[in-house]
Amino acid sequence: MSEYVHTSVGNGTGTITLDRPKALNSLSLAMVRDITQALLAWRDDSSVAAVVIRSSSEKAFCAGGDIRFFYDVGRGSPQGGSALLEDFFSEEYALNHLIHFYPKPYIALMDGVVMGGGMGVSQGGPDCRVRIVTERTRMAMPEVNIGLFPDVGGSYFLPRAPGKLGYYLGLTGATIGAADALYAGLADHYAAVADMEVLEAILESTAGAELPEAIAAFAAPYRPAAGKLEAERAAIDRHFGAGSVPAIVASLKTDDSAFAQKTLEIMATRSPLMMCVTHELLKRGAASSVADCLRMERTLVRHNFEDGEVIEGVRALVIDKDNAPQWKPSSLEEVTEEMVQRFFQPVWPDYAHPLRHLD
């Protein structure tokens, strides 16, 4: 294991602890490999009946991929490290697939910041997932903010959220709390921070095979503070069901509510091109399998870095911190259908796709 991922096995439970607190557990390639290695080892190990993934820090479960790394190697040649970028996304998406179909309970303690790649390592499939949020949870798929798109399986799980919630979350990159995560189907249980020691004791003392039932019983009495998605659900479904990003913006402009105006304000700062690409991605993902979604995202990543929108987004947000990205094109009106569809053009023949073995 690397210095940032610690693993242990006890009482039938394999535990993965992310321990890169200064970077809010942002995932490096080494971390992706460590998590994958542990899950593969435990998958067929009869002494491990369940897996828990958690953070050593109260601030963040995982804030996503290491975007500074994306910037540094995304501008380089293979000699300068760009080949590692290819490896990162291929291996991260393969890990997301492994987690979705994991044959044992996969328990994610989503305390603190859970964004982007952090969602990818916590969103198990319906047969294995046990996703716990707290009042500290700050969840988002904020990729459009840096000129990227909701990846790590976002093209699969976002359009499967109720109504048009997934489109709202993917196109705005909005941050939500525990109640909204539960309402959107992106979490299963709520635990109060004040009683985290009780949960810790359950995780430690309960046999792995019995953990899902024990966690459900522990969490049953808890209710998070009210969120905003349920209250704004009708407006979200109406506006974000408009059929295209320009149509969504036009619909929002007819609504003088505080929610609609705030949403317009947020979308005005996002990459126009990548919002349109994201809309198409979610539309396609709604009718695709997990494997096909991840293969599609892998194709988009290659096009995205070749296009350079993500490089500019990371520059503005993380490198220069001027928060003034020069998006190309700079307005929705300039985004053409051809620009959007170019991102979905095959990069590899099917037999050579780096995720061709996923099923």
Catalytic option among 34, 143, 188, 307: 143
For residue 67 the two structure tokens come to 């975007």
313 catalytic per annotation: no
308 catalytic per annotation: no
Q: What is the four-CA torsion angle of 166, 168, 173, 176, rounded to 10 degrees?
A: -80
Find all residues with CB under 8 Å of 129, minimum gap 6, and list them. 106, 108, 123, 188
Q: What is the four-CA torsion angle of 32, 320, 268, 276, rounded to 10 degrees?
A: -40
Indicate the pairing of strand 60-62 with strand 50-55.
unpaired
Catalytic option among 151, 180, 232, 280: 151
Which amino acid, residue 302? Answer: R
Indicate the pairing of strand 13-18 with strand 5-10.
antiparallel
Catalytic option among 14, 64, 74, 117: 117
Find all residues with CB under 8 Å of 150, minimum gap 6, and list them. 141, 143, 144, 158, 169, 170, 278, 281, 282
Sign (positive or negative) of CA dihedral 77, 297, 137, 272: positive
What whole-number distance in Å separates Cα of residue 184 and Cα of residue 235? 15
292 catalytic per annotation: no
The secondary structure of 226-257, three-state, reads CCCCCCCHHHHHHHHCCCCHHHHHHHHHCCCC
What whole-number distance in Å separates Cα of residue 144 and Cα of residue 275? 6
Q: What is the four-CA torsion angle of 232, 235, 236, 240, rounded to 10 degrees?
A: -170
In three-state secondary structure terms, 291 is helix
Centroid of chain to Cα 141: 5
Catalytic option among 65, 116, 118, 166: 65
What whole-number distance in Å separates Cα of residue 55 and Cα of residue 39? 16
Find all residues with CB under 8 Å of 349, minimum gap 6, and list them. none
256 catalytic per annotation: no
| Residues recognised as catalytic | 65, 117, 143, 151
